[in-house]
Chains A and B, each alone.
Chain A
Amino acid sequence: MHKFLIRSFVSSLVLLFTLTVAAVAKDVKAAFVYIGPTGDHGWTYQHDVGRKAVEAAGFKTTYVEGVPESADAERVLRQLANSGHDIIFTTSFGYMNPTNKVAKEFPNVKFEHATGYKREHPNVATYAARFYEGRTILGTIAGTMTKSNVIGYVASFPIPEVIRGINSFTLAAQKVNPNIKTKIVWAFTWYDPGKEAEAAKALIDQGADVIAQHTDSTAIVQMAEKAGVYAFGQASDMDKFAPKAVLTSVENNWGPYYVDRVKAVANGTWSQKDTWHGIGDGMVVISGLDSQMPSDLQAKVKKLQADLASGKVHSFTGPIYDQKGNLMVAEGKTADDGMLAGMMTYVKGVEGDIPK
């Protein structure tokens, strides 16, 4: 009797195993559309690291790099959907309308659009990372390490994503050092090493001794290295580009999400959703901390990281005031996702106006 039970248990296990394997091995093909070259060591590079994780999980992948957000995006998407891909990740905001348009024509193909907000068809999902949590860590480090109390920040475009980052960074820096000022230079680009370096130089000339960035190239950390000030890596670990300047980097870690979603397609469990993951889910990762940071700061950062992950600490905890002194978030409250998604005002301590 026992033998029989064990046997049937084992055989059902084997059956279950083969079923699972069969389901996973169901030839799911994933495609990735990139805005830049895979060698940009920033935004696109990290998405490609994510793609490689999908390959490592046993799926076939395809990518097309340097796809402009012009009329060309739609053609690339249609071609990918037409050539046997089951799930297509479009990794730049400007692909939003083409993604939804092509998704309508291919209801059996799943589309995943990064950083957008339109999900017009049931086969379109959106995803983004809570990068602002990483910026809370950077702000804490910047506020502690600055001597001039002027922190420079190279920003890309005045959209909520970027404003949120500036605010989160500034709030954290103020917490450890109430005297700091954040100076912003708008580069109006996501990736332009020349412009970014110029922006960083302008900030250094204005007395900034720590530079943060919300653009994707390594030009800023390299400029900081040359000028002997501190900086933070963006999107990927940029330490090797400026070993003295880079204190740490906020890495975009898309791999787990990508593997998850491709597996969901394989298992037939994929469904539309809007994902917004942070440090806790591992989508935002803090690189190794530089040894120039004092050990008590390092310990503080590690604890903050754990608290952000567990939800014990929220990047936007009241009281928060805007530049004019109006209350944005009351004491004891935290900003909800709706407020974060539409954030278009600077908090107190940020210098200048949002370009209109």
Chain B
Amino acid sequence: MIKIVKRDQPSKAIFFFTPVLAIFLTLIAGGIIFYILGFKPFEALKFFFIVPIADKYGFSELLLKATPLCLIAIGLSFCFKSNNWNIGAEGQLTFGAIVSGGVALLFYDQEGFYILPIVILAGAIGGIIYASIPAILKTYFNTNEILVSLMLVYVSKLILDYLVVGPWSNPEGFNFPETRQFSDSARLPLLFEGLRIHAGIFLALAAVIISWFVFYKTYLGFQMKVSGFSLKTAKYAGYKGKKMIILVFLISGACAGLAGVGEITGPIGQLHREVSPDYGFTAIIVAFLGRLHPVGIIFASLVVAITYLGAETAQIFMQIPKYTGQVFQGMILFFLLASDYLLFFKFKFIGSKK
């Protein structure tokens, strides 16, 4: 007989094992779905997960796609670790892109080494401003940060719509909803000729290192951890909760804003209505799949990035509907949450009574 027993303490080994298990289960379930849809499961999985990154270009595209996901997820991990549910990274990304794009447009006909740093800084500030709204409302007015940050996503997209349709639209662009192209000085430098991967990846790597340091080596990291376990304990220990809440939101917003900068000054080169294919939401999956651990997030961002590339390849070569990519993302999160059950419970085999 098998009995389910609650663990005395969540298992550390299982904590890092379940993401791997979730990916494994996703692959099996994905194979079954492909089979039901009438595709050869192994071939489909090959086109989904191996072919897209089999060459240098494909691998560079993987890194390009993973960069914003990693950057945002690192920021979100500050919030999530400390029990602050910032769901609005997409809005912070968009607002960061708006502010930095606005600055880049000011310099549209100029060249100069000073332009790019200003543009990047503007993006971070944009993200910070936008993240400060739910943070301040939460700390001083007790609002629910989930709702506020989520709703602000739509507001930010409407602001972007307004700007690219109206005042910022390209004067030579027949009123189509897009701005001018930025000058080369406002673009992030490419790392290799012919590939799209750009210097933004260093921002993501810097975020990884800094976050690791903050999480495990600083007092702030310890405060976040305690608040994450129990807000009451944190209060009892005398932590100034408000300051911390605002700080984690601002860090999170800065990261999302920088991700927005990376998109518009990297591969896109202008502002238009679709700056991000919902990176801010997908990064939530990445953060949890990476167990809110900086190194885990690197791997998780690569795994999730490949579901985007794989979906395109699978459609081009096998005519598999591209939306299966989103199914995979959903499945990973689903299996991760489901297997978290193992964190707190274990199966116990009990000999039958005679």
Tell me the nearest residue of chain A to B194, going by C-beta.
Answer: A105
Residue A93 interfacial (CB < 8 Å): yes
Which of A68, A97, A157 has a CB less than 8 Å from the CB of B274? A68
Interface size on B, residues (CB 8 A): 38
Q: In the complex, what distance in Å separates the CA atom of A159 from the CA atom of B323?
A: 30
Chain A positions 150 through 161: 1 when the CB is less than 8 Å from some CB of chain B, otherwise 0: 000000011110
Residue B223 interfacial (CB < 8 Å): no
User: In the assembled complex, which residues on chain B have CB atoms less than 8 Å from the CB atom of A188?
Assistant: 158, 161, 165
Total inter-chain residue pairs, C-beta < 8 Å? 82
Chain A positions 82 through 103: 1 when the CB is less than 8 Å from some CB of chain B, otherwise 0: 0100000000011001000000
Q: In the complex, what distance in Å separates the CA atom of A160 from the CA atom of B196?
A: 33
Known: A72-B308, A75-B312, A158-B165. A64 touches B274 (CB 8 A): no
Residue A355 interfacial (CB < 8 Å): yes
Known: A71-B266, A71-B268. A355 touches B166 (CB 8 A): yes
Residue B315 interfacial (CB < 8 Å): yes
Residue A307 interfacial (CB < 8 Å): no
User: In the assembled complex, which residues on chain B have CB atoms less than 8 Å from the CB atom of A344?
Assistant: 175
Which of A64, A83, A117 has a CB less than 8 Å from the CB of B174? A117
Which of B165, B263, B316, B317 has a CB less than 8 Å from the CB of A70? B263
User: In the assembled complex, which residues on chain B have CB atoms less than 8 Å from the CB atom of A342?
Assistant: 174
User: In the assembled complex, which residues on chain A have CB atoms less than 8 Å from the CB atom of B90?
Assistant: none
Q: In the complex, what distance in Å separates the CA atom of A36 from the CA atom of B42?
A: 28
Residue A58 interfacial (CB < 8 Å): no
Tell me the nearest residue of chain B to A83, going by C-beta.
Answer: B316
Tell me the nearest residue of chain B to A344, going by C-beta.
Answer: B175
User: In the assembled complex, which residues on chain A have CB atoms less than 8 Å from the CB atom of B315?
Assistant: 63-65
Centre residue among B61, B174, B277 by max chain A CB count within 10 A:
B174
Determine if B322 and A65 form an interchain contact, defined as CB atoms under 8 angstroms apart.
Answer: yes
User: In the assembled complex, which residues on chain B have CB atoms less than 8 Å from the CB atom of A117?
Assistant: 174
User: In the assembled complex, which residues on chain B have CB atoms less than 8 Å from the CB atom of A78?
Assistant: 57
Q: In the complex, what distance in Å separates the CA atom of A37 from the CA atom of B181?
A: 29
Residue A74 interfacial (CB < 8 Å): yes
For residue A335, give the distance in angstroms from its CB to the closest CB of chain B. Answer: 16
Q: In the complex, what distance in Å separates the CA atom of A117 from the CA atom of B172?
A: 11
For residue B216, give the distance in angstroms from its CB to the closest CB of chain A. Answer: 33
User: In the assembled complex, which residues on chain A have CB atoms less than 8 Å from the CB atom of B270?
Assistant: 97
Tell me the nearest residue of chain A to B269, going by C-beta.
Answer: A97
Determine if B275 and A65 form an interchain contact, defined as CB atoms under 8 angstroms apart.
Answer: no
For residue A353, give the distance in angstroms from its CB to the closest CB of chain B. Answer: 12
Determine if A64 and B312 form an interchain contact, defined as CB atoms under 8 angstroms apart.
Answer: yes
User: In the assembled complex, which residues on chain A have CB atoms less than 8 Å from the CB atom of B322?
Assistant: 64-67
Interface residues of A (CB under 8 A from B): 31, 37, 62-72, 74-76, 78-80, 83, 93-94, 97, 117, 157-160, 188, 341-342, 344, 355-356
What are 7 inter-chain pairs, A to B, with CB distance below 8 A? A64-B322, A67-B312, A69-B273, A71-B64, A71-B266, A97-B269, A188-B158
